[in-house]
Amino acid sequence: MTLQVGVLGYRFMGQAHANALARLPMFFEDAPEVERDVLVGRDEAALSDAADQLGFARTSTDWEAVVDEVDVFYNLGPNHVHAEPSIAALEAGTPVFCEKPLAPTLDAAEEMAAAARAADVPAGSAFNYRFVPALRYAKGLIDDGELGEIHHVRGRYLQDWLVDPDAPWSWRNDEEMAGSGALGDLGSHTIDLAHFLVGEQAGEIERVSGQLQTFVDERPVEDGETPDDEAVETRPVTVDDAYSAQAQFENGAMATFEASRFANGHKNDHTIEIQGSNGSLKFSLERLNELEVLREDSRGYETILVTDESDPYIEHWWPPGHVIGWEHTFVHENYEFLSAVAEGGEFHPNFEDGLAAQRVLDAVERSDERGAWVTVENW
């Protein structure tokens, strides 16, 4: 059976996933057969060009007509369009893969997770860093008890693309469309990764103390970013440019999280450190193929190049030592998700995982508003 895939969104994430879909049969012999069937968007001319570039057979400007026509629906649009199309697809019995964060608000994320529970099909949440071989290797070490009892988790995600106050306004700067700024855009990745790596040992994040900061209050508007009847030169920034948070896991482990889109000199710097009673590890996305590990009784960290055939996913790529890149994480992610769809299996991260991250995002926002520690709502 060939899975007909419909994709909403054709820019950054649309390109990343279209590339992954094209690569799957070249490197994963047991991957399901997939056809890039329909690309969905609003601008017909741009949509047509994107379909030609990304290899889709047809286009549509109406997602409602697509969700029950395809075998799989990818929702890669802005955050404010995650809920309605995803819920409609699930209600039609169509498996859904949705970009992160799951929704702009916790209420919308709850609705999406409820729809996923009611549907007997996979619903995936797009946290691609779970599929970095070095991080899969790290999880294996943690699960095997190599680090002992988890004491500390430190995660940060730093970018600098908004440092210039004249950088143009986009939907990512708007609370109604994005929900939050660096917190949801970048922090959701770090929080999910912490859950993935240490959740089985440390449990859920129970409480947080957070701070949000906006450094530039308005930004210039580029052509096409505002309706014609609103002839404005700037638009307000209504989300955070940076956040930081302290957190506590169920087992008492401490965590610190931060993200910024104002971190001068950092392009896409996602790092995580985990310290336990018997050892520690460090990972940086800027050194994606490496993992630093400190083992019990060792005098220092060992740098492991995670490119051997025995390492997660590496057998599908190049000879040992030939590194892979950021785009390969999407191939791994699509392989796992589409295999679950084809075989009727379970996929993680799913909408429940996306909801778990969203609850922490919500708690950070509530903590910032109150200026106090708050409990993560897990109803």
- Residue-wise pLDDT tens digits, 204-229: 999 999 999 999 999 999 875 554 54
Sheet holding 290-294, edge to edge: 302-305, 290-294, 280-284, 269-276, 150-158, 254-260, 242-249, 205-213, 374-375
282 and 181 in a common domain? yes
Mean pLDDT of 1-16: 96
219 and 252 in a common domain? yes
Average pLDDT over the chain reads: 96
Instruction: Indicate if the pLDDT at residue 333 is higher than 80.
Output: yes
302 and 248 in a common domain? yes
Give me the pLDDT at residue 377, please.
84
Domain end (from 128, 163, 197): 128
- What range does the domain containing 65 cover? 2-128
Number of H helices, E strands in the chain: 11, 17
Considering the chain, what percentage of its residues have pLDDT values greater than 70?
97
Mean pLDDT of 9-32: 97
234 and 140 in a common domain? yes
The answer, as to whether pTM is greater than 0.75, is yes
Q: Which H/E stretch holds residue 67?
A: none
Domain end (from 128, 148, 164): 128
Give me the pLDDT at residue 222, please.
87
Give me the pLDDT at residue 225, please.
56
Alpha helices in the chain (DSSP H): 12-27, 44-54, 63-66, 83-91, 106-118, 133-143, 175-178, 182, 188-202, 326-343, 351-370
Domain end (from 99, 128, 157): 128
Give me the pLDDT at residue 185, please.
98
Give me the pLDDT at residue 226, please.
54
From the list 162, 139, 130, 9, the residue with the least C-alpha distance to 74 is 9
Structure tokens at 128: 């691609």
- Residues contacting residue 130 through CB under 8 Å, at least 6 positions apart: 136, 192, 193, 196, 333, 348, 349
Query: How many other CB atoms are there within 10 angstroms of residue 45's CB atom?
Result: 7
Mean pLDDT of 296-309: 95
Residue 5's SS3 state is: strand
- Residue-wise pLDDT tens digits, 241-266: 999 999 999 999 999 999 999 999 99
Give me the pLDDT at residue 374, please.
97
Could you tell me the pLDDT band of residue 354, with boundaries at 50, 70 and 90? very high
Count of domains forming the chain: 2
- Residue-wise pLDDT tens digits, 255-298: 999 999 999 999 999 999 999 999 999 999 999 999 999 999 89
